[in-house]
Chain A
Amino acid sequence: MSKNVLVVVERRDGILRNVSFEVLTAAQQMTNGGEVIAVVFGQGNQDEAQQLAQHGADKVYIATNEELNAYSTDAFSQALTEVVQTVKPDVILVGHTAMGRDLAPRVAARLGLGLISDCTGVEVNGEEIVFIRPVYAGKLFQKKKVKEGIIFASIRPNNIVKGEPNAQRTANVIETQVTITDIRTIIKDVVKKTTGKLDLTEAKIIVSGGRGVKSAEGFNQLYELAEVLGAAVGASRAACDAGYCDYAMQVGQTGKVVTPDLYIACGISGAVQHLAGMSNSKIIVAINKDPEAPIFRVADYSIVGDLFEVVPLLIEEFKKVPV
């Protein structure tokens, strides 16, 4: 049986997020002749619709209302509920981001649906859609399915490989005004700390520092390496607690869970809590003075040495043939 898949699209700072394209790719695997319908909230534009079409959307549904220009739980859950009731999809997919985590369970409860969160993989076996998700901080994996009703899942960024855009593809664009009545929360202020920085959960490469970086100034070398690599910079809890950097950069069980292609751990000992946030990275490089540091047990490539010597050499080496 064909399936219509509704993909909840997300923007960050006005730009479509990479995870939305990854989710579109996942959606395409599930349709079995049905349609992929992307839903965008707030003002839509032709350029966005085209990008979504090229990445797999057959229809682009733009739900407009002035309350949708910035995220609020109440506005977005009302809008998504209305869209689901209109589109009547068989599957709903959303990125497992701050927005997805806030919105999906609320809407699932409103519609009386099951929800499988934080999926890192999808298997389509005929009629059955099976989701793969890490639990116990990546120490165990589950295969899970929705037993009845609409299939609803959130997908962790950086795990499903986004398909190549197809310039030939186009989509029907449907713009519709949705009804939003009661917004109970008032946003008084937004303090942006991450503008212009690569999002850690979506970065392909992360350079990360721990207590061994010794100071906020010490992190400058890491920023320099990150710039050469086009990477984001992360940190261990110890480095954040010591005030070397903002908690927004923390990778770990508390903090962000990241799965980049390459994770370069500099001066990080590798406490269990840190490993929980990064051990599923595809390739891990560890640089540490202490040969006994637990981080070496999960590393694919290890350099036992002082990061203040190693990192400048690496910067030089990468600069020879730019990434």
Chain B
Amino acid sequence: MKILVLLKQTFDTEEEIVLVNGQLNENGVKFVINPYDEYALEEAIAIKEKFGGEVTAVTVGPARAEAALRTALAVGVDKAIIVDDESLFGDEYTISKVLASVAKLDTYDLILGGHMAVDDGAAQVGPRLAEELAIPHISTITNLEIVDGKVKVEKDVEGDTEVIEVAMPVLVTAQQGLNEPRYPTLPGIMKAKKKTIERLTAADLNVNVGEILSKTEVLEQYLPPKKVAGKVLAGELNQQTSELVELLRNEAKVV
């Protein structure tokens, strides 16, 4: 079985957001694999361990994103591809076209990705890529089994669960709860250092950059207003609770 995992490198959740001249500051920021993509990665490795096959990880991003691929190689991915070509960076429309051209270089039975990236939070690339490849997709899965060559998943629908069966090839996006991602081991990390990461550009992918330009544009980025320090209530607890109810009714007017 051939499996493709879509990875995005994102800011670590704990990182503070700083704007410099309206642009996001990346200096000194710690980057991680998008947490939802980690579930996808773990699932791909687990499937390979059970059924055999080959796992390829792909990312579209600048050179720093190679670190995400090294981690993927360290936990058991066989091949890694980075599309590091600024002319191919863009919005979800562009990125999914680029990923489709990468996916078409081979034949994959299963494509896994996170259901969204925690930085941009758009949750578009998975379904878009499936459409570009004319294969079905199932989003926000919390369980995956392969039974008689078919994929059987549990899909989270705002708390309810749907059990869905589909033939391969299929693309699925991971929701929290799918699995518990493993950590890379030291031997794994050492081995990963020696593996080659394939680098692709627009020319390699035979993509006409002009035809896949972003359809959307960011006009402005700004920080939310700083939260002013709230009121810490004082006095006996019963006084505090009656004051709180009074404040919620008459000051905040939310009840």
A contact set with B: CB distance below 8 Å:
73-74, 77, 97-98, 101-102, 104-106, 108-110, 112-118, 130, 133-149, 184-194, 199-201, 204-205, 229, 246-250, 253-256, 261-262, 272-273, 276, 279-280, 282-285, 296-305, 309-310, 313-314, 316-318, 321, 323
Contacts and interface: CB of A to CB of B under 8 A. Distances in A.
Nearest to A201: B158
A317 B123 CA distance: 42
A195 to B, nearest CB: 8
Contact of B232 (A108, A282, A304): A304
Given A110-B131, A115-B93, A118-B122, 6 more contacts: A105-B92, A105-B127, A139-B17, A300-B252, A301-B244, A317-B244
Contacts of B176: 247, 250, 254-255
Contacts of A144: 216-219
Nearest to A101: B123
A276 B13 contact: yes
A247 B177 contact: yes
Contact of B157 (A98, A304, A310, A313): A98
B54 interface: no
A141 B215 contact: no
Given A105-B123, A110-B131, A140-B17, A317 B242 contact: yes
24 contacts: A101-B116, A106-B131, A109-B127, A114-B93, A115-B215, A117-B124, A118-B123, A139-B16, A140-B17, A146-B215, A149-B215, A187-B164, A188-B164, A189-B163, A191-B163, A205-B254, A253-B118, A299-B230, A300-B230, A302-B230, A302-B232, A303-B244, A314-B244, A317-B244
Interface of B: 11, 13-14, 16-17, 19, 24, 35-36, 91-93, 96, 115-116, 118-132, 136-140, 152, 156-167, 170, 176-177, 214-224, 227, 230-233, 237-238, 240-242, 244-245, 247-249, 252, 254-255
Contacts of A261: 254
B162 A190 contact: yes
A199 B163 CA distance: 21
Contacts of B252: 262, 282-283, 300-301
Contacts of A250: 176
Contacts of B165: 185-186, 188
Contacts of B216: 114-116, 144-147
Contact of B215 (A113, A187, A316): A113
Contacts of A105: 92, 123-128, 131
B22 to A, nearest CB: 11
A205 to B, nearest CB: 7
A138 B224 CA distance: 8
Contacts of B128: 105-106, 108-109
A35 to B, nearest CB: 24
B163 A187 contact: yes
Closest 3 CB pairs of A and B: A114-B215, A248-B159, A109-B131
Contacts of B130: 106
Which of A102, A112, A253, A283 has the most chain B CB atoms inside 10 A of its CB?
Answer: A102
Contacts of B14: 272
Given A73-B138, A102-B127, A106-B131, A301 B248 contact: yes
A126 to B, nearest CB: 14
A141 B151 CA distance: 38
Nearest to B123: A101
A185 B230 contact: no
Contacts of B36: 254
A246 to B, nearest CB: 7
B248 A310 contact: no
A102 B127 CA distance: 7
B245 A190 contact: no
B222 A140 contact: yes
Nearest to B157: A98
Contacts of A190: 160-163
Nearest to A237: B176
B240 A305 contact: yes
A194 B231 contact: no
A263 to B, nearest CB: 10
A121 to B, nearest CB: 12
Contact of A142 (B11, B218, B241): B218
A280 B224 CA distance: 9
A130 B219 contact: yes
Contacts of B127: 73, 102, 105-106, 109
Contacts of A114: 91, 93, 214-216
Given A205-B254, A313-B241, A102 B139 contact: yes
Contacts of B221: 135, 140-143
A184 B161 contact: no
